[in-house]
Amino acid sequence: MFQVRIHGRGGQGAVTTAELLAVAAFTEDKYAQAFPSFGSERMGAPVMSFCRIDDKPIRTREPVTEPDVLIIQDPTLLHQADLFAGLTGDGYLLINSAHTFAKLGLGEVAARHHRGRLLVVPATQLALTHLGRPLPGTALLGGFAALTGVISLDSVTRAIGERFTGNVAEGNVAAARAAFDFVQDERKALSDA
């Protein structure tokens, strides 16, 4: 079982991101479960959402405490207590930011982790460019596909196509593709280095 925890702020689409990830996994005939952290929904409040992906039916319903992937939708959450709770050295970490780990003050976290599994993606900028709105979720899913290989970029774009139509769908697909390419380039640069 592959487990994902997404941290964001109310209104940024953390729940939609988890649901799109589940649909993307479903299109690959995998079992998936996505659910929010069930707080009172308020714009700007810290929120969490979860997604599990497996080849067999998923029965457990507890929150994801030991994520294989942590996605941080909002870099202003980075210094919140327990944000990285349960993430092991082999886990994947994807942060929405235009800055480096060092500049984000995460040098220590980066040192503890498998370097090839930690990436920063300027998802909000990509969303603004391609979608015209600061909603980083679909760009992060494109980055997720490139970083983990657990689902393909095609599945992400199919999930987007099921949820949205017209310009909104196109913008989200373009943001996901751009982030996918960005992460692939970053990984290549890391492995070349």
Partner 1 sequence: MLRQIEGSQAVAAAVAMCRPEVICAYPITPQTHIVEALGAKVKKGELNAEFLNVESEFAAMSVAIGASAAGARAYTATASQGLLYMSEAVYNAAGLGLPIVMTVANRAIGAPINIWNDHSDAMSQRDAGWIQLYAETSQEALDLHIQAFKIAEELANPVMVCMDGFLLTHASERADIPAQDQVDRFLPPYVPRQMLDPADPVSIGAMVGPEAFTEVRYLAQARMQQALEVIPSAAAGFSMAFGRSSGGLVRPYLTGDAEIIVVALGSVLGTVKDTVDELRAEGMRIGVLGITTFRPFPVLAVREALGTDSRLRRIVVLERALAPGTDGIVTADIRMALAASDGRPPRAPDALVSTVVAGLGGRAITRKSLRAMLADTVSGRLGPLTFLDLDTSLVSRELDRMRAARRSGPSAENMLRDLGITASRVS
- Which residues contact partner 1 (rule: CB under 8 A)? 18-19, 22-23, 25-26, 31-36, 38, 40, 57-63, 65
CA angle 31, 35, 37 (to 5 degrees): 150
Q: Report in angstroms how near the CB of residue 178 gets to partner 1 at its nearest.
A: 25
Q: Which helix (H) or strand (E) holds 32?
A: strand 31-36
Distance (Å, rounded) from C-alpha 140 to C-alpha 147?
Answer: 10
Q: Report in angstroms how near the CB of residue 147 gets to partner 1 at its nearest.
A: 22
Distance (Å, rounded) from C-alpha 88 to C-alpha 69?
Answer: 9
Are 7 and 71 in contact, with CB atoms under 8 Å apart? yes
Question: Which is closer to partner 1, CB of 6 or CB of 183?
Answer: 6
Q: Report in angstroms how near the CB of residue 100 gets to partner 1 at its nearest.
A: 32
Q: Report in angstroms how near the CB of residue 187 gets to partner 1 at its nearest.
A: 28
Question: Which is closer to partner 1, CB of 39 or CB of 105?
Answer: 39
Q: How far is CA 178 from CA 28, 102, 129, 131, 188, in A?
A: 22, 24, 10, 12, 15
Q: Which helix (H) or strand (E) holds 24?
A: helix 14-27
Q: Report in angstroms how near the CB of residue 65 gets to partner 1 at its nearest.
A: 7
Question: Which is closer to partner 1, CB of 11 or CB of 36?
Answer: 36
Question: Which is closer to partner 1, CB of 159 or CB of 183?
Answer: 159
Question: Which is closer to partner 1, CB of 17 or CB of 97?
Answer: 17
Q: Give the residue among 44, 48, 181, 182 at the shortest CA–CA distance from 120.
A: 182
